[in-house]
Amino acid sequence: MGKMIKGLRLLGKYFVMYLSMLMPRDKKLCVFGAWLGERFADNSMQLFLEGQEREGLRCVWIAKAPGIIQEIREMGYEAYLWGSPQAVWVQLRAKYAVVSNGISDLQHTFLGRAVILDLWHGVPLKKICYDDKYEKDWDSLRQKIRDFFINIPLGREYYVATSQNYIPIYQSAFRKPAEKILCLGQPRNDVFFQERPAPYFAGKRIILYCPTHRKEGEEPMYAGTLFDLERLEAFLEKEDYYFVIKKHFYHRKEQEDLSAYPRILDITSENIDVQRLILEVSLLITDYSSIYIDYLLLDAPLLFYCYDYREYLEHDREMYFDYHQVTPGNKAEDFDGLLAQLEQAVHQGREYGRQERCRLRDFFYCKEGQKPVGNILLDWIQGGRLPGGADKGK
């Protein structure tokens, strides 16, 4: 009985999705969402904020949390709660939709024949979507049928890659033709080229540890098991740094008592914009997260702590490239190695691994992607063409 009800709901959803194709869509209206409707963040947020300055463009945010709606409205912008009559109506009328993760950032049931711009949420190092064999069987009959029926109302979808090297990767990962891949850059990095916002940690020198998730957040990550906290605290005290931990969003509910270590701060559960945060850090530590690719634009030292490298590749995610070829500098596989690298990086400053960082910056980013890109994308939404880019009429 439960399967029958679920099937009927799915049929109803597709029926509404196809009906939404008949709605006249307003070319001046663009809806935005991110992270399955649960966050006001990432590339979508930055383009939404820049879009507010555009004459003739109405930008509306859709989110599941009332707190997000209130936050955006207090900024003076338009936002509606997921599932509300207002949210349904603007999604039915919008000619354009902007997302950072995928169509489920919005209620895609109401987006039939809208032009969807997927900005993604980073430059992928790990295999994603159709390339990620660990997620699901993408070539099953059920999945192929789903893809066929969804592509009819939602097939006007475009993706933004940051370099020519990623166009074939995006073609494979999203199963889209080359003309649906725009080679440009990430709007969230526009903040690197604007006036610096007020810092989160004023007057402090910050080392940021920003790892990716493990098994979609199912495998917990605790500082007490990853680091020798006593030795780390002593190092931080000696060099006058603070060690800030910002784990992936999937790990936001993990709790750990670090009160005995005043220079080690876990801010994973706090509402902090990572792009703003990395502007003020002196050094970044990550593992397999693509945050380091954003960080390359800042020409600042970074380290890699890959304590579970072999296990990660075998059981969690495959990668598009040889990890050691596309990550600058030495890799630490245990805490002793990490502490040794930290000491070198702190003393060498920006010169630590600089030559490799510059080489990889140019690998991951085209020339346009190393500058602000929001206005170029907004021009495209408002009827223009990208330099060498795609035509929405196709």
pLDDT number for residue 394: 43
Residue 105 and residue 201 in one domain: no
CB–CB of 161/386 below 8 Å?
no
Local confidence band at 313 (pLDDT 50, 70, 90 cut-offs): confident
**Per-residue model confidence as pLDDT tens digits over 245-280:** 998 878 888 888 899 999 999 998 888 888 899 999
Owning domain of residue 155: 10-192+372-381
CATH number at residue 294: 3.40.50.12580
Residue 154 and residue 25 in one domain: yes
pLDDT number for residue 14: 84
Residue 168 and residue 221 in one domain: no
**Per-residue model confidence as pLDDT tens digits over 209-248:** 999 888 776 788 888 899 999 999 999 999 999 999 998 8
Residue 174 and residue 199 in one domain: no
Instruction: State the average pLDDT over residues 31-45.
Output: 95
- The identity of residue 391, as a single letter, is D
Instruction: Specify the number of domains making up the chain.
Output: 2
391 within domain boundaries: no
Instruction: State the average pLDDT over residues 298-321.
Output: 86
Which tokens go with 304? 């890699």
CATH number at residue 140: 3.40.50.11820
Q: Is the pLDDT of residue 384 over 70?
A: no
Nearest by Cα to 248 from 204, 218, 283: 218
Average pLDDT of the residues of the chain:
90
CA 330 to CA 332: how far, in whole Å? 7
pLDDT number for residue 389: 53
Local confidence band at 386 (pLDDT 50, 70, 90 cut-offs): low
Residue 37 and residue 90 in one domain: yes
What is the Cα 62 distance to its own chain's centre?
A: 17
Nearest by Cα to 372 from 186, 183, 167: 186
